[in-house]
């Protein structure tokens, strides 16, 4: 009885929604990579990538644009994680950014007197490469 080797399905990160701040897009990609590779934190992923190279991606294709965006915000990407949770949050009014283990805070706590709402970056979606463009006209 022969055992077929499991070939990972080719997948990619879905493009961010229009209007997504580049910092959030970069961190969303990083969180998707961490979740897909089951490495929990960007630091763990980076350690495995140094040893395994792109094999650690397990079929996840990162575009040049994905890599450039994460490189431009490497200071933020390095802080991303699923467990323990670490994601950027930004005030919609004053624009200040922090990293938090929470995904929500009702009111800005970064600037005295600011009444803005805090919004957290979210993990980007992973899509099968062959599914791309099916919803496009």
Written as one string, the DSSP assignment of 61-125 is EPPHHHHHHHHHTHHHHTT-EETTEEEEEEETTT--EEEES-S--SS--SSTT--PPEEE--PPP
Share of the chain above pLDDT 70, in %: 86
Which has the higher per-residue pLDDT, 8 or 34?
A: 34
- Taking 70 as the threshold, does the pLDDT of residue 66 lie above it? yes
Look at residue 2 and give its three-state secondary structure: coil
- Indicate the pLDDT class of residue 30, thresholds 50, 70 and 90: very high
Give this prediction's pTM.
Answer: 0.84
- Taking 60 as the threshold, does the pLDDT of residue 75 lie above it? yes
């Amino acid at each position: 009885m022969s055992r077929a080797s499991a070939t990972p399905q080719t997948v990619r990160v879905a493009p961010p929604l229009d209007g997504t701040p580049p910092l959030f897009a970069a961190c969303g990609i990083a969180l998707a990579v961490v979740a897909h590779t089951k490495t929990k934190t960007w630091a763990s992923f980076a350690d495995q990538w140094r040893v395994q190279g792109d094999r650690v991606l397990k079929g996840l294709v990162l575009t040049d644009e994905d890599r450039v965006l994460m490189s431009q915000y490497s200071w933020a990407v390095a802080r991303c994680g699923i467990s323990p949770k670490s994601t950027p949050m930004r005030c919609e009014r004053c624009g200040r950014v922090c990293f938090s283990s929470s995904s929500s805070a009702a009111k800005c706590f970064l600037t005295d007197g600011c009444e803005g709402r805090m919004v957290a970056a979210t993990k980007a979606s992973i899509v099968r490469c062959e599914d791309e463009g099916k919803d496009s006209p």
